[in-house]
Structures are given as C-alpha cells and as structure tokens.
Structure 1
Amino acid sequence: MTTDIDIKSLVRTIPDYPKPGIMFRDVITLFGHPSGFRASVEQLVAPFQDQRVESVAGIEARGFILGGAAADRMHCGFVPIRKKGKLPAKAIGQEYELEYGVDVIEVHEDALSPGEPVLLVDDLIATGGTAVAAVELLRQLKAEVVGAAFVIDLPDLGGRARLTELGVPCHTLMAFEGD
C-alpha cells in the first residue's frame, strides 16, 4: 500500500469558485499525480477489501474516475450513476435537492441484481444530497449498499451523517473543516 504520500497536499483549493465565499476542493490535481492517485484509490477501497463487493457504483463525473479505478483494484464491475438523460438503455431515476431546485440521477434498470453487494464511490461528500439519492437509487434496484467511499468530506455540511443515518458505512480519506 502506498501510505507515505500526503494526498491532502495534492488537492488544490480554488477560492470563490463557483461563487464568492466557496472554497472549491479540486481533486483533479490529485488525479494527475500518479503516486497520489494510486494511493487515494488504495486507501478508498482498503476498508472494503475483505468484504464481498461485486460492483462499484460511481457518481458522475469524478466518481467515474475513482470508481473505475476502485472496481479494477477490487476485481469487480463498474456501474455509472449519471445525470438524467445520459444513459442509452432503460433507466430508473431518483430526484435530489439542489440549492435552488431539484435534479435527477439515473442508473440502468438492469445494472445490478437483487442482493448484489455494491460500493458507492465519489470524490467528495458535502451536504450528501447526491450520495443519498444514489443510495436510494441503488436500493430501488434491491442492491445491498455495503458502504460509501469519498476522497473528501466537508463535515460541517453533514453529508456523511446523512449516509450513516441510512445505515451506510462511510469512509473518507480527508476532511476540510468550515466548508
């Protein structure tokens, strides 16, 4: 395992993006660092290595990058969770709240089998709206969500707690307070 890398130092902070007062945590710089990216994927899946996981579900878009790599490391399949209208076959959707309005994420209706153990992966957990919707979507397919893994947690926004309330074990690699 690659543990001697300070992956938090590889995350770039962009002030006032996408609006004033927001400190945007950019994982793309982490993804661009070969050893940092490898270490982050290793650390994301480490708590789930001894569990039965048959698929990794990644939330669009950075969750695709991490989820694909996590699925490869865990020797299992990958399931994309996309924004509404982006999947080519028949899909089911789940609404979630945004700051101003609602949006929908979707998954192919045949992406998982009932009881199939799946790990949810994304780059960041903030308020938890998208992650909670993804868990609800996976549960509509009757999949067993064994856990959720994120590179970054913004604990002041409460997303991790929302997943825990749903009974989903949540693993994060780092936290940025006050965001």
Structure 2
Amino acid sequence: MALQLSLLMALVVFSCGPLPSLSCDLPQRQVLVDRKTFVLLGQMGRISPFSCLKGRTDFRFPREMVDGSQVQKSQAKFVLHEMFQQIFNIYHTEGSSAAWNMTLLDQLLSTLREQLEDLEACLLQEMGEEETLQGMEGPVLAMRRYFQGIRLYLQEKKYSDCAWEVVRMELRRCLLFITQLERNIMK
C-alpha cells in the first residue's frame, strides 16, 4: 500500500510537466531537480509509514500557499526559496545523519543546494533591494512558522525514527504544494 501511494505521488509530480518560469528564466533543469528531490525523499524511507501513524500530526501547511491567493508573483520566488532553504536546514541537522542512508542524504542535500542556487541567481537577477524586503513579508513568514513547527515536532519526539518518517512524508507533501504554488502563480 505504501509503495502504491509513493508511486501515485510520483506520477502526480512527474505528470506536471515543465513549468514556465516565474518571469525569470530558471533553467529547465529546475523542474528535473524538483522531481529528483521528490524521488530522493521517497527512496529515503526506512520504516513503514503505517508503523508511525500514532505520531502523525497536522503541521498546518499554510493554505494560502496552495491556492496562491495570498502570494503575489513578486513574492513567489521568495516563498519557494524559503521552502527549499527550510527543507535543506531540516536535513542538514546533526540528528539527520543518524536517521538516514548517508548516500541518499548527501544526494538530497546536493539537489536542494542546486535548487537554492538557481533561485538565488534568479532573485538577484531581477529583484532590487526594496523588492527583496517586500519578499520577506507575509507568505515567507508563514512558511517559517510552518517549518518551525516541524523542527519543534522533531525535538519533542527526540528525533526518533518515527518522527523522521512523519517529517519525511510531510516534506514530500510539501513538494507537491510547491508544484501547485508554481502552477497557480503562473495562471
């Protein structure tokens, strides 16, 4: 069942196809890197998510990100950057290296680094200082609160295997929201 769910989620991400840029010519490879991140998180699973059902929680992903109604186009890249930065930070902690296969973890961190570098280059290319400050408001702060909740959850659960598994599944969902945000912003 878990394998079927993972395959279904992967098909959803892969079927999204190439996304147009967010008024910056992000390399086509950005879409491939997004998919690679999703697949790597899928491969990192070591225990059955069903064995961790008691530990599940609602991290309260900011719903305004899903429909894009609260995210202006000028803020979209900042939100995406913040999301990738936060995912990178979560997997770049001390406790993370003990929980995961190091080869997969290194690949994930490398892939996230690529995404961040592409987004940073894009932001620097087209944003002035005033726009940079505006990008740090509202939706970006909502994303920081969301990821702070994930970090607190890991701490409260003492970075247990089940806690990491719950977070891994949540971050895979988060990647689906990233895809949806990118699509909605481009409408």
TM-score range, shorter chain: under 0.3
Report the TM-score when normalising by structure 2.
0.27
The structure with more strand, counted as a fraction of residues: 1
When normalised by structure 1's length, the TM-score is: 0.28
Higher relative contact order (CA closer than 8 Å, sequence separation 6+) = 2
